[in-house]
Amino acid sequence: MDRLTSVDASFLSNESTTSHMHIGGVTIFEGPPPSYEDLLAHVESRLHLVPRYRQKLAVPPIEAGRPFWVDDPQFHLGYHVRHSALPAPGDEAVLRRMAARVFSQRLDRTKPLWELWLVEGLRKRRFALISKTHHALVDGVAGVDIATVLFDVKPVPEPVEADREWIPSPPPSGAELAARGLGELARSPIGAARRIAGAVSSPKAAARRVQEAAEGVGEVAWEFANPAPDVPLNVPIGPHRRYTWVRGDLGDFKRIKSELGGTVNDVVLCAVAGGLRRWLHARGIRTEGLELRALVPVSIRATDGRGDLGNQITLVRGPLPVYIEDPVARLRTVREAMDGIKASKKALGAEVISRFNDFAPPTLLAQAARINFSTRLFNLIVTNVPGPQIPLYVLGRELLDVFPVAFLPENHALAIAIMSYNGRIDFGLLGDYDLMEDVALIAEGIEAEVKQLLEAAAASAERSPGRGQDRRAPAGADQATTSPA
């Protein structure tokens, strides 16, 4: 049995009948679809690479801490891998509507928390896979995900042999779950005592860490005391969703940041802010002096922990200055603000708070988790994940597009997820069905803002040839390492 981390458990605590805490994506492939039987066999051959995908939740019968992951003795692959086809005309609008319906349904907590849909009938000799996984199960930055293990870097799939046949462990009894939970709660003070002993042996380093942590928590507290603005994005939502996407060229984003400064992630936030500005104006809302806040998940996973299971992320708030009309000036403001956040201790403060949650009882943890997703702190999620820049394949079919899907916390009507892949950068916009009938306006606005930034970058290059080389962000700063929330 493995216990959920406090971050994993927080996603369960925040889930409701209207707010679903699953994430995923719509992936489009070139070529005829594989048969359902071939896809089942392919998934089954790789399941040993993601052991969590054959496990389900086990909740202790008393207040004995967070739930556990245990093997599902009734695991049936055919329940999780599903088969569907688009009605005529089979265009991308029909695929988006289907994806919206898939993401409108909560996952069954009595089974492993994931689904994979094979979708036939897409025009232009293509097909799609829709992946859907509870956020408690997967950390997008870790790469431990059912969709990723299905991919190959060569058209001809290479066999991935399991060391041994999977045999589920016997399910634990309620008494065993309670005893294990209480035992881990009892060991928590021991861990704290060891940290105190370490602090005594290195008092200066410990004092510095305590001071930095206190400053970080203070910065997070300041944000809570100064709430995000009240806009139509932050109202009670329903269970049903709309979904649309925007295709982009990663080279365009790199040209913009190289000529105008910043990182690819800064350009992304600038374009999103511009799209939201246009949407607010279309709704008759004034934007003078208005700056929205985006919740930007950031990985805190150590390099040597990339194979570990469980979420290891923290959350920071990024600026969306919708009051600025000129996209170049807006990019400059975003860049300066993000540089300030990176230099501040906000991420450290959020991490300290999450570490305290490891010692919290379930009821207190649930309350703290809800505060994390409060509308006082942010208006919408904007998560940007850098993906592989080489072509990938599933059963010999090349992956063309990856449109990520985030989730909607309570009282948040919009979430935007971005992912780059093989020279492309795609935006996925998930909205509440009743409140975001005009979500396509934001998508169109993002496209228009990127076009304006490209034109400004080209004009800047003509005025000052070679200047873009001097304005590049530091190596490795092209995209923030974040998670699909």
Q: Would you please indicate which residues are annotated as catalytic (active-site) residues?
A: 135
Other CB atoms within 10 Å distance of the CB of residue 363: 10
| CB-based contact 15:21 (threshold 8 Å) | yes
Determine the Cα–Cα distance for residues 273 and 329; give it in Å rounded to an integer. 12
| CB-based contact 39:397 (threshold 8 Å) | no
- 485 forms bridges with which residues in the sheet? none
How far is the CA of 440 from the CAs of 77, 290, 332, 447, in angstroms?
Answer: 36, 22, 26, 11
- In terms of DSSP H, where are the helices of 344-406? 346-357, 362-372
Q: Dig out the tokens for 227 from the structure.
A: 């709430």
Determine the Cα–Cα distance for residues 84 and 439; give it in Å rounded to an integer. 26
Name the phi and psi angles at 242, rounded to 5.
-115, 150
Give the sheet arrangement for strand 22-30, strand by strand.
81-85, 114-122, 126-134, 22-30, 397-405, 393-394
How far is the CA of 130 from the CAs of 83, 90, 102, in angstroms?
Answer: 10, 15, 8
Determine the Cα–Cα distance for residues 52 and 291; give it in Å rounded to an integer. 40
DSSP of 173-215, one letter per residue?
Answer: PHHHHHHHHHHHHHHHHHHHHHHHHHHHHSHHHHHHHHHHHHH
Determine the Cα–Cα distance for residues 63 and 182; give it in Å rounded to an integer. 9
| CB-based contact 119:98 (threshold 8 Å) | yes
Other CB atoms within 10 Å distance of the CB of residue 199: 14
